Amino acid sequence: MLLLLVGAITTSAQSTPAPARRPTIGVALEGGGALGLAHIGVLRWFEKNHIPVDYIVGTSMGGLVGGLYATGHSPSQIEGLVKTMDWPLIIGGETPYEDLSFRRKQDHRAIPTSLTLGFRRGAAPPSALNAGQQISMEIDRATLPYSTVESFDDLPIPFRCVSTELISGQLHVFDHGPIALAMRSTMSLPGVFAPIRDGDSLYIDGALVDNLPTDVVREMGPDIVIAVHLQVSAATANDIRSLFSVLGRSITVGVANTELRGMEGADLVIKVDVSRFNSLEYEKGDELIEQGFQATEAKSMILRPYALNQTDWDAYLKNRDGRRQAPIPVPRFIAVQGVNGGAQKTIETSLQQIIGKPLDTSHLEADLTRLTGQGRFDGASYGLTRKNGEDGLLVIAHEQEYAPPVLQLGFEVSGAQPDNVNFTQAGRLTFMEIAGAGSELRNDFQFGNTYGIESELYKPFAGRSQWFYAPRISANISQQRIYSNALPVAQYSFGRAAGALDFGYAVSRFTEVRAGYETGYLDASLRLGTPEFSSVKGRTGTSKLRFETLHLDHPIIPRRGYVGRFSFDWVDTSPGAKSAYPSVRSSVSYFKTVSRAASVFLTAQGGTTLGYRNTGVPQFLMGGVSGWVAYGANELRGNQFYLLRAGYMHSLFRMPPFLGGNVYGVTLFEAGKMFASPQVSRLPTDGVAGMIAVTAVGPVFVGGAVGDTGHAKWFFSLGHVF
């Protein structure tokens, strides 16, 4: 560094004319997650002070920033791009709930966890927290004009990025090919983003082998190599106590060694102090960018001799801008890769409206996101292509490598009564395309407080028709306590077995309607305590009509949208019933965000047998987290009810992606009526306050409730909340 300064001063002091050729500059940008946003500040200082960048190389986040800069984006444009990215969604990785198909929406509500196993080639979990669909689309959009550029030397600034080839464990330098694939590969943080497969090679984050790739820059031929190092805080013994901290520190030590080699290979190192930040704090982008700017300013005495005067700077910009690609052409055809046969035809048909029109990437990305929401694909990327002299749109669908079939695993723990905690293990095994295009075989199981199995074949009538039929069989047995005045008075065993056939119409990815007939057997028997209704057993027969619409932003803890359900049953045969009778039930919930952190919600539900009273077993059993929280389980029972809820949720903080999502504070008020329910007030009400955490094993709700007539309790639950 001192030699650089002396050489620069000596050169400026000489009276002889400056050499015709200026020294060329190559820059290496280090990886570091959110910390890499500091690179934008470094590049902003370079541009403000007319420091030319002739070559640029990056790893991980350095590869993202470097690739954007190399493709002609200014530092301010890069800053705008990263600020508009939804980083929690990118890191969390799940397809937005709104974009899932209707059946995938049902899956997420039935099993509200991220625990899945695939059985495509034996039992295996996903290769990472997420497939990287969201970050892939961000990269595809930003680099779209350059998607047909073969050599990275032909970009506005020659560019390289590095990845680790997972099979060989060796460094791989991307210098040609689709630039989006290269940038996505260097961003594949192990465990967070799935590896990128290209032929027989698997690529992950290059930080494991070369996090500060000054050697790669040097090979490109610059006179001066500048390294940008992200200086983090030193670890202490107190920081390393858990399994995760030991594993994390072990990786950090290895990465740090590659950084030392990188700094040794540089002519100048810009050290950016990011010790007060962590690698997931993307929301602190402004501060990180400023840190990069100030760290570069601290090196200004050494850097300014390489600054260009205005004339030379304008010439440099003109040459750089002259290498930028023309505007995005209008696609004349669609090419689909990654799938064959019917799936390929379906994708091509769904995108036909794009042909012959200026490309709207927002609409295209929405279509591709919904494609992944069907459950067969991990993701879909896009770019430009040419064939027979015409411009086209290339779509690459990435099928899941571990599924289908896919097994979702979940848990349900009900501590609605602290003295009687119920646990149920649940699962859903889904086979796709098992009986033709669009068909599914869904198999549910439960064991614990409830033991049960259910299997349904969903089959469109023709191809991917919206009309379908669905035969179903089920059997289950559960133990239910009955409460009165907040005290347990009885325990019943409910056993059911049934077979059904439904016909329905899939209206959209939000809505389904179906009708059918179910016949089966019911055994409701008193096991302990005082009889609250008669034990019955016998055949059941029911004609069913169902309507459901799901317009929510989250399956379990929504903050905006609405959900509506309606069911009408005509029960022609039921043990204990004096005659056939109807049973109607409906519910609607509305959620609205009122600020970045806060939301309110209203729900209404009700049910009735339309005046028919002799139904054998009461049709509606309420009490607990699902309704009238302060009351005991099944304390409110009868053949007609309504319940209104109003509540407020406030986001308190967000957990790391591998643990879950947001933690909320919640309050709600409930009021309603269960008609003809014994020993219950005329208008049962209660108030609830607690905390809800969205975790990897499902939502956890802990709180307290106080109601009328002396009802009060603490409670907790894991599983369904709203």
Predicted confidence at residue 171, as pLDDT, reads: 95
HSE-up of residue 271 (Cα within 13 Å, Cβ side): 9
Is the per-residue pLDDT at 343 higher than 90? Answer: no
- As a whole number, mean pLDDT of residues 700-718 equals 92
Helix (H, G, I), strand (E, B) or coil at 45: helix
User: Residue 97 has what DSSP assignment?
Assistant: G
Pairing of strands 422-432, 268-273: unpaired
- As a whole number, mean pLDDT of residues 161-185 equals 95
CB 638 within 8 A of CB 676: yes
Reference 135, options 76, 190, 77, 194; nearest CA is 194
- As a whole number, mean pLDDT of residues 15-33 equals 81
Helix (H, G, I), strand (E, B) or coil at 525: strand
As given in the structure block, the two tokens for residue 121 are 């080639």
Reference 78, options 70, 88, 86; nearest CA is 70
Q: Which residue has the higher pLDDT, 114 or 646?
A: 646
Reference 598, options 633, 562, 559; nearest CA is 559
pLDDT tens sequence across 611-651: 998 898 999 999 888 899 999 888 999 999 999 999 999 99
- As a whole number, mean pLDDT of residues 15-26 equals 73
Reference 402, options 192, 125, 710; nearest CA is 125
pLDDT tens sequence across 273-305: 999 998 888 999 999 999 999 999 999 999 999
pLDDT tens sequence across 545-585: 999 999 999 998 999 999 999 999 999 999 999 999 999 99
Surface-to-core class of residue 270, CB atoms within 10 Å of its CB (0-12 exposed, 13-18 middle, 19+ buried) = buried
- As a whole number, mean pLDDT of residues 503-521 equals 98
- As a whole number, mean pLDDT of residues 698-716 equals 92
H or E element at residue 442: strand 440-448
Confidence band for 248, pLDDT divided at 50, 70 and 90: low
Is the per-residue pLDDT at 158 higher than 80? Answer: yes
Reference 706, options 715, 698, 697; nearest CA is 715
Q: Which residue has the higher pLDDT, 192 or 648?
A: 648
CB 155 within 8 A of CB 142: no
Is the per-residue pLDDT at 333 higher than 80? Answer: yes
Predicted confidence at residue 122, as pLDDT, reads: 87
Confidence band for 5, pLDDT divided at 50, 70 and 90: very low
User: Residue 436 has what DSSP assignment?
Assistant: B
613's CB contacts (< 8 A; 6+ apart) are 639, 676
**Residue at 176: amino acid letter:** H
Is the per-residue pLDDT at 593 higher than 80? Answer: yes
Helix (H, G, I), strand (E, B) or coil at 411: strand
Long-range contacts of 566-569 (CB under 8 A, 24+ apart): 568/544, 569/542, 569/543, 569/544, 569/545
**Residue at 460: amino acid letter:** P
Is the per-residue pLDDT at 678 higher than 80? Answer: no
Catalytic residue list = 60, 205
Q: Return d(Cα 485, Cα 488) in angstroms, integer.
A: 8
Highest mean pLDDT among 253-257, 497-501, 713-717 belongs to: 497-501
Predicted confidence at residue 417, as pLDDT, reads: 78
As given in the structure block, the two tokens for residue 370 are 């919904």
Surface-to-core class of residue 588, CB atoms within 10 Å of its CB (0-12 exposed, 13-18 middle, 19+ buried) = middle
Q: Return d(Cα 688, Cα 579) in angstroms, integer.
A: 40
Predicted confidence at residue 696, as pLDDT, reads: 86
Predicted confidence at residue 245, as pLDDT, reads: 55
The pTM for the full model equals 0.86
Surface-to-core class of residue 322, CB atoms within 10 Å of its CB (0-12 exposed, 13-18 middle, 19+ buried) = exposed
CA distances from 421 to 109, 480, 532 (A): 22, 12, 22
- As a whole number, mean pLDDT of residues 228-233 equals 89
CA distances from 20 to 267, 318, 483, 517 (A): 22, 18, 92, 88
Other Cβ atoms within 10 Å of 27 Cβ, number? 30
Is the per-residue pLDDT at 233 higher than 80? Answer: no
As given in the structure block, the two tokens for residue 60 are 């991980």
Predicted confidence at residue 251, as pLDDT, reads: 57
Is the per-residue pLDDT at 76 higher than 50? Answer: yes
CB 163 within 8 A of CB 216: no
- As a whole number, mean pLDDT of residues 523-529 equals 94
Is the per-residue pLDDT at 444 higher than 50? Answer: yes
Q: Return d(Cα 664, Cα 678) in angstroms, integer.
A: 36
As given in the structure block, the two tokens for residue 538 are 């016998």
Is the per-residue pLDDT at 148 higher than 60? Answer: yes
Confidence band for 4, pLDDT divided at 50, 70 and 90: very low
Helix (H, G, I), strand (E, B) or coil at 416: coil
Confidence band for 358, pLDDT divided at 50, 70 and 90: very high
Q: What's the chain's Rg over C-alpha atoms?
A: 31
CA distances from 636 to 101, 604, 640, 644 (A): 36, 17, 10, 15
Reference 491, options 457, 449, 456; nearest CA is 449
Q: Which residues lie across from 162 on neighbouring strands?
A: 59, 173
Q: Set out the domains of the chain in order of their start, with CATH numbers.
A: 28-93+131-323 (3.40.1090.10), 333-399 (3.10.20.310), 456-718 (2.40.160.50)
- Computed over every residue of the chain, the mean pLDDT equals 90
Q: Return d(Cα 214, Cα 208) in angstroms, integer.
A: 15
Predicted confidence at residue 6, as pLDDT, reads: 38
Angle between helices 285-297 and 75-84 (to 10 degrees): 160
Is the per-residue pLDDT at 403 higher than 60? Answer: yes
As given in the structure block, the two tokens for residue 198 are 């290209």
CB 493 within 8 A of CB 523: yes
CA distances from 93 to 136, 193, 403 (A): 11, 8, 17
CB 186 within 8 A of CB 173: no
CA distances from 473 to 59, 190, 425, 476, 568 (A): 53, 42, 20, 11, 20
Helix (H, G, I), strand (E, B) or coil at 64: helix
Is the per-residue pLDDT at 469 higher than 50? Answer: yes
Predicted confidence at residue 247, as pLDDT, reads: 53
As given in the structure block, the two tokens for residue 302 are 């050494």
Other Cβ atoms within 10 Å of 85 Cβ, number? 14
Peptide bond into 418 cis (omega under 30): no
